[in-house]
Amino acid sequence: MLTKREELFGGTPDEYLSHKEKYENSTRKAVILFSLLRKIQEENNTDLTNYRNLLSGVLGASISQDGSPFGLHYIMFMPVFMSQADEEQQERWLHRALNCSIIGSYAQTELGHGTFIRGLETTATYDPSTQEFVLHSPTLTSYKWWPGGLGNTANYCIVIAQLYSKGECHGIHSFIVQVRDEDTHMPLPGIKVGEIGVKMGLNAVNNGFIGFENVRIPRTNMLMKHAKILEDGTYVKSKNSKLIYGAMVFVRVVIVFDSVNYLAKAITVATRYSAVRRQSQLKEGEPERQILDYVTQQDKILTAIAGCFAMKMNARMLWDTFNVINDQLHKGNMERLGELHALACCLKAISTSDSSLFTARCRVSCGGHGYMVSSTLPATSALTTASCTYEGDNTVLLLQTARFLLKTWRQIDTGPLTPTVEYLKTVSAPGFSYKWENSIEGIIRGFQIVSMKKISSCLNLMTAKVMSGMSQADAWNTISIQLVSAGESHCRAIVISTFHEDMSKAMRSMSASLAEVMGQLVELYAVYWTLERLGDLLEYTSISGADVVKLRSWYEELLRKIRPNAVGLVDAFDIIDELLQSTLGAYDGRVYERLMEEALKSPLNAEPVNQSFHKYLKPFMQGKL
């Protein structure tokens, strides 16, 4: 009798399973895992705070690097329900979703549209004679494409469609739609549903497509917490049309936490391997050195560790900010919705792009063995690059942040600013003077000035172009590279200052030795990004060549200081081997034995001579083909 652990982590490695077997195996594992999680869920209420903890358990424990077919049920189907269904609808559906007696997905993206959601083509036309909506996919490009779990797993999904009533289009709204029979799992009439095929990664998420041929759903299947359709077809507007986007904000907040989890796995593997791997001699006749002793290796890995700690603290700040503003939204105060959206956009973009960048660095820092699937680094790299796209393409999200920043800058003199942008007032105040200094505070100030000056410059450029006769839209597009850069600079200023402030608070309750190491990580992160963004700092601050020379020495000194604690820092993530799933990163450091153990699991090693020798090779080598 297999133990739960053996059931979850034993068997043929996923990499040797077919696409279909991989899905079936991940569904088998998901059922075991989510039965356990369901017990946790039954003990907790379903408010967002508990829910996020449950969700991070789901994500953290999504035992396959390829994700899980239940992921979207937790990541979007339920959060959207909690934020957009009215009380009657929550009463009717939410407990069934929470105990997984129904499995849902979230169908927004279509073959033809992912970013521009106002351009979605799926229609939901209200028929007052039957008090139903008619869901329809008018074109191939209107087919929903990507929804996780929709291929073969989900029997319900939330569909985002253009709402028509009394001949008028009211824009996109959310609808809950049953897609498969709850007993037979057969697709319901008028529904064409399937799986989209093999992807770069996340191949257990079971992303699917769905098309509707005049499918009728009751009026009460429109999620009506915000906007409504009355029985006679009268449309009742939402207090704020952007509240329908609320779930995307929540998921972007979750993704920031998630990007930290993925990066933590990658740097745990790369750091431990770099301590085990010995290669080359520093001095003739000496034993080969641990590759972690090479400063170039420290440059790749220690900065990633610092980045992981930095983003973890920023994820917490974002979550706290989300909760504060979400409470205000529930009370009808929309004042900070735009700020929350802008903050979630830039932090999701920067956390995922940093995670993708540093994970790719971890992969190459492990040489050939880092290219083995059994190292888990290729799959983690595929995961992090996906996160730069899902829940909003990073470029598009940084443009959203830039849009908010320009709007803020236009109003800079009309009153107080909201917390995440009040630095703009400080560094632009008359009489404010600043001389670059090589200190954390000096670096933070420098990034804030860069951000402010980029935003100001973008607005001046836009104004000049419009004054010269260019349309607002063309002017926006023409300078969009600079707008993205302004969004990134704003975010980097927030990340460094949050890391410094929150870590400084945390250090007060640490031992002196631990506080010293944490302080070194904050400095490493700040100095690293200063050196990475020298161009901006040279353009907008008084940093000098002499300052840069000292910064480089400071950086190298920090790498030297942090090196002895590198393994201890990643051990602190405490990722068990079963979740790490890495021949290079296992806690016992038996890298070579594990690489060989995994290799021998290859089906190609089951017999000494593969059948292709007799069928193809031998006749070929004998000139018979």
Q: Which residues are annotated as a binding site for FAD?
A: 109, 148
The rounded distance, in Å, linking the Cα atoms of 269 and 256 is 21
Strands 208-212 and 191-195: antiparallel
Judged by CB under 6 A, the chain residues 178 through 207 that form the site for ligand FAD are 202, 207
β partners of residue 163? 124
Please report which helix (H) or strand (E) contains residue 162, including its range.
strand 156-165
> Residue 413 corresponds to which tokens in the numbers above?
């003199």
Our finding on whether 346 is near ligand FAD (CB under 6 A) is no
Q: From residue 373 to residue 412, what is the string marking binding to ligand LOKYT7XV with x (rule CB under 6 A)? A: -----------------xxx---x---x--x---x-----
Our finding on whether 547 is near ligand LOKYT7XV (CB under 6 A) is no
Which of the residues 110, 121, 132, 391 is marked catalytic? 391
Among 176, 205, 305, 349, binds ligand LOKYT7XV (CB under 6 A): 205
Instruction: Spell out where 167-207 has E strands.
Output: 168-178, 191-195
Angle (CA) 221 224 225, round 5°: 140
Q: Is 391 a catalytic residue?
A: yes
Our finding on whether 110 is near ligand LOKYT7XV (CB under 6 A) is no
Q: How many CB atoms neighbour CB 77 within 10 A?
A: 28
Considering only the stretches 213-221, 246-254, 446-454, 527-535, report the one whose residues sit in contact with ligand LOKYT7XV under the rule CB under 6 A. 246-254
> Residue 207 corresponds to which tokens in the numbers above?
């992303």
Our finding on whether 396 is near ligand FAD (CB under 6 A) is yes
Label residue 144 exposed, middle or buried (CB < 10 Å: 0-12, 13-18, 19+): buried
Our finding on whether 343 is near ligand LOKYT7XV (CB under 6 A) is no
By a kind-dependent CB cut-off of 5 to 8 A, residue 258 interacts, out of ligand LOKYT7XV, ligand FAD, none, with ligand LOKYT7XV
Among 62, 109, 123, 565, binds ligand FAD (CB under 6 A): 109
Q: How far is the CB of 100 from ligand LOKYT7XV (least distance, A)?
A: 12
- In terms of phi and psi (left: phi > 0; alpha: psi -120 to 50; beta: otherwise), the region of 540 is alpha
Our finding on whether 62 is near ligand LOKYT7XV (CB under 6 A) is yes
Q: How far is the CB of 33 from ligand FAD (least distance, A)?
A: 19
β partners of residue 174? 160
Letter string b/e over residues 81-107, b meaning 16 or more CB atoms within 10 A of that residue's CB: bbbbbeeebbeebbeebbebebbbbbb
Strands 156-165 and 104-107: parallel
- In terms of phi and psi (left: phi > 0; alpha: psi -120 to 50; beta: otherwise), the region of 67 is left
The rounded distance, in Å, linking the Cα atoms of 82 and 174 is 12
Our finding on whether 242 is near ligand LOKYT7XV (CB under 6 A) is yes
Considering only the stretches 70-78, 125-133, 173-181, 218-226, report the one whose residues sit in contact with ligand LOKYT7XV under the rule CB under 6 A. 70-78
Judged by CB under 6 A, the chain residues 73 through 102 that form the site for ligand LOKYT7XV are 74-76
Alpha carbon distance, N-terminus to C-terminus of the chain: 50
Among 30, 54, 72, 398, binds ligand FAD (CB under 6 A): 72
Bind-site residues: 109, 148
- Residues with catalytic roles: 391
- Interface contacts to ligand FAD, rule CB under 6 A: 72, 106-109, 114-115, 146-148, 202, 207, 386, 389-390, 392-393, 395-396, 399
